[in-house]
Amino acid sequence: MDHEQLEENLSLYALGALDPDAVREMEQHLAAGCPACSTLLGQYQSAVTMLPYALRPQTPPPALKSRIMTALSGPAATSTTNLREEKPASPVPIPTAPPNLASPPASSWIPQTLPERPPRRPVTRRNEFFQRLDQLRAASPALAAALGALLLGVGGYATYLYTTLQGERTATTHERAEAAQRRLAIADLKSQLEEKQAALTKATNEVKRAVEALGTTHQLLAQHEEQIETLKAQLPPGRGAKDRSRTDVVQAGSDDLVRILTSPTTKMASLSGTDKAKEAYAMVFVEPGTGRGFFYANNLPPLPTGKSYQLWIITNKPISAGVFTLDHGHKGRLLLRDIPGVSQIKKFAVSLEPAGGRPQPTGSIYLAGDL
């Protein structure tokens, strides 16, 4: 029996009108813990308990009590307690064939045994229920109609409740799916926000470093200008070309630095400290048109005796861009010339090398970054 048939039989089960096999199957189904059937059964049982209150009160005839008392006290009361024994019906006479020589022997057509009566259909609780309904319909058509209407109403209400529960269950499933999708979308947005926040933090740090580098560069330019003016003031008229050349070199360095920092095509690389110098950072400004650049580093560890830092431009292989030392503020600077094509540069790096540098890096890397 499928679930739909079990639901249809719930009202009969509540009324006690199911046959034993159906009762066992229903009880097994309810014991399995079906929530819908358990809910409907509770509603049916509540409705069944209200059935007696649906009967219309009847006033007995005035003479009914006297007739009942007379029947209980009279001789008929004793005779009615004994069941009358019914005598079996007389057997049906079996006809015999008329004396006719042409007829076949009687034994060939007279049945030897009478046909057996078909077995009576066993009275089940379901049949008994409908028999009682028939009796109730015959005794009180109005009450039978009211009972039928009540059962139909309870069945309709149960169907409505079941449909409502199914709809709520479906809606709950959809709501859970939508909530899961919203959680996934929120997690995705949160991940994107974290990535953008990290990128913004990185860009902010780079801007701060660039501003600091530019501030240091302005100081460097001011120092260069001061050196130029000092050299010019110290250069008396008629001095040799050697002194004029020294002044021209300082002036040329200042001009290159201004050109690099003000060119709209200048590219910038940010270098971060490795495990050797986690607090260190550096900026490299490259002007592709002239092949010149400016390097600025900060927070590098103090140099050991006999050592210097060396900047490397890494294309297919490391190319030395010069060596530098640190000032009292742990800062280092380099003006770069003859930089290879920007498209060929993969990254920049700074290593610790013996004083004067080496053709290829031999020491530990302290700074590294892509262009």
Distance, CA of 308 to CA of 361 (rounded, Å): 12
331 forms beta bridges with 298
The pLDDT assigned to 17 comes to 78
pTM of the model: 0.40
The count of C-alpha atoms lying within 13 angstroms of the C-alpha of 342, restricted to the half-sphere facing its C-beta, is: 16
Distance of CA 118 to the CA centre of its chain: 66
Average pLDDT for consecutive 10-residue bins of the chain (371 residues)? 82 82 88 88 81 69 76 60 50 50 47 52 54 62 66 71 77 81 86 84 70 60 56 50 44 66 84 92 87 89 93 90 88 85 86 93 93 78
What strands, in cross-sheet order, belong to the sheet with 365-370? 318-324, 307-314, 347-354, 365-370, 267-273, 281-287, 292-298, 331-336
* Structure-token pair, residue 311: 């900047």
265-370 CATH choice from 1.20.930, 3.30.70, 2.60.40, 1.10.3470: 2.60.40
Please name which of 318, 284, 312, 314 lies closest in space to residue 298, comparing C-alpha atoms.
284
Distance, CA of 342 to CA of 38 (rounded, Å): 79
Instruction: Compute CA distances 198 → 201, 269, 303, whole Å.
Output: 5, 18, 33
DSSP strands (E only) in 231-291: 267-273, 281-287
Distance of CA 249 to the CA centre of its chain: 68
Strand (E) or helix (H) holding 64: helix 64-73
Distance, CA of 303 to CA of 213 (rounded, Å): 21
The pLDDT assigned to 15 comes to 79
Distance, CA of 213 to CA of 235 (rounded, Å): 32
Domain positions in the chain:
265-370
The pLDDT assigned to 134 comes to 65
Please name which of 330, 275, 254 lies closest in space to residue 297, comparing C-alpha atoms.
330
The pLDDT assigned to 83 comes to 46
Strand (E) or helix (H) holding 233: helix 141-234
Where are the alpha helices (H) located in 74-140, listed in sequence order? 76-79, 125-139
* Structure-token pair, residue 95: 């006809």
Distance, CA of 24 to CA of 189 (rounded, Å): 56
Distance, CA of 287 to CA of 271 (rounded, Å): 17
The pLDDT assigned to 242 comes to 46
* Cβ pair 12, 26 in contact under 8 A: no
310 forms beta bridges with 323, 351
